């Protein structure tokens, strides 16, 4: 895999603490060091831009939308100039990031923690390719594999 689409809220950003997750920095630094293309897809308004500032420089593309859709994911793939099958989507919601990523033919990582950690995949479309409970576990997983072979 040579590209990643990250959800923002509750994946890289802790809304209760109003801060970027500390574990996000080593993960994003590792991926940039491997020359992966990174996109951030977030639901929100103009205030979201201020919250993203501490990690803005890691991303090739940042997209803020009113609602996530398959079109959003496919447009990002096109803007990154990569095939959907070479993208990993990382998010905390089965119903949003995991399902939409899979519908687009992308691999998925479910960050199973926080408010939506009790969601249960009901079918193959909702079943993530990988599940982790913290960002540091994702970093370790990726460091122990060749990114192209995931």
Q: Which residue has the higher pLDDT, 148 or 117?
A: 117
Residues contacting residue 47 through CB under 8 Å, at least 6 positions apart: none
Question: What is the pTM (predicted TM-score) of this model?
Answer: 0.94
Mean pLDDT, to the nearest integer, of 79-94? 96
For the cut 60, the answer to whether the pLDDT of residue 149 exceeds it is: no
Report the C-alpha gap between 23 and 86 in whole angstroms. Answer: 24
Print the domain residue range for 140. 3-149
The pLDDT value given to residue 123: 85
Domain count, the chain: 1
For the cut 70, the answer to whether the pLDDT of residue 33 exceeds it is: yes
For the cut 90, the answer to whether the pLDDT of residue 30 exceeds it is: yes
Give the domain CATH number at 145: 3.40.50.1000
């Amino acid at each position: 895999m040579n590209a990643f689409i990250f959800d923002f809220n509750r994946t890289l950003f802790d809304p209760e603490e109003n801060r970027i997750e500390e574990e996000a920095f080593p993960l994003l630094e590792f991926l940039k060091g491997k020359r992966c293309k990174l996109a951030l897809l977030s639901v929100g308004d103009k205030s979201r831009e201020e919250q993203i500032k501490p990690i803005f420089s890691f991303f090739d593309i940042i997209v803020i939308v009113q609602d996530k859709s398959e079109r959003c994911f496919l447009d990002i793939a096109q803007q990154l100039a990569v095939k959907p099958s070479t993208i990993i989507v990382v998010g905390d919601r089965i119903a949003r990031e995991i399902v939409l990523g899979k519908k687009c033919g992308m691999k998925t990582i479910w960050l199973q923690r926080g408010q939506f950690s009790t969601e249960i995949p009901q079918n193959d479309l909702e079943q993530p390719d990988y599940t982790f409970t913290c960002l540091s576990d994702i970093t370790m997983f990726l460091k122990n594999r060749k990114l192209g072979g995931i």
